[in-house]
């Protein structure tokens, strides 16, 4: 069964600022685990928010979230929480509101 991740956030939120860097300041699609079939889609500045969606095998989503948390330490706690949810059987995850609202 595939796991779905929704990492969309207001552009001035903690996660939104990381997504900005993901799209504009780093070659961050390299965060995708090597050889993985993980599908990532999204857009920067999609009407006041940055959007990122991912669909893949459980292990691929866990690996991506771990890499994302290492690359962007300000959201590592959020990534760890999503990883725990996936490892506990969740097939669809998204961050708590504190990560996606404008600061």
Rounded (10°) CA dihedral 68, 69, 75, 77: 140
Residue 33 scores a pLDDT above 80: no
Residue bearing tokens 């708590």: 96
Domain that holds residue 95: 3-100
Residue 92 scores a pLDDT above 90: yes
Segment 4-26 shows an average pLDDT of 90
Considering only 11-20, 38-47, 90-99, which range has the smallest mean pLDDT? 38-47
Tally of domains within the chain: 1
């Amino acid at each position: 069964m595939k796991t779905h991740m929704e990492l969309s956030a207001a552009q001035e939120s903690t996660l939104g600022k990381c997504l900005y860097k993901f799209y504009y300041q780093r070659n961050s699609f390299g965060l995708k685990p090597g050889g993985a079939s993980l599908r990532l889609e999204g857009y920067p500045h999609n009407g006041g928010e940055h959007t990122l969606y991912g669909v893949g095998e459980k292990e691929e989503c866990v690996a991506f979230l771990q890499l994302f948390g290492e690359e962007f330490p300000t959201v590592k706690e959020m990534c760890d929480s999503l990883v725990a949810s996936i490892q506990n059987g969740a097939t669809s995850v998204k961050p708590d509101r504190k990560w996606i609202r404008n600061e």
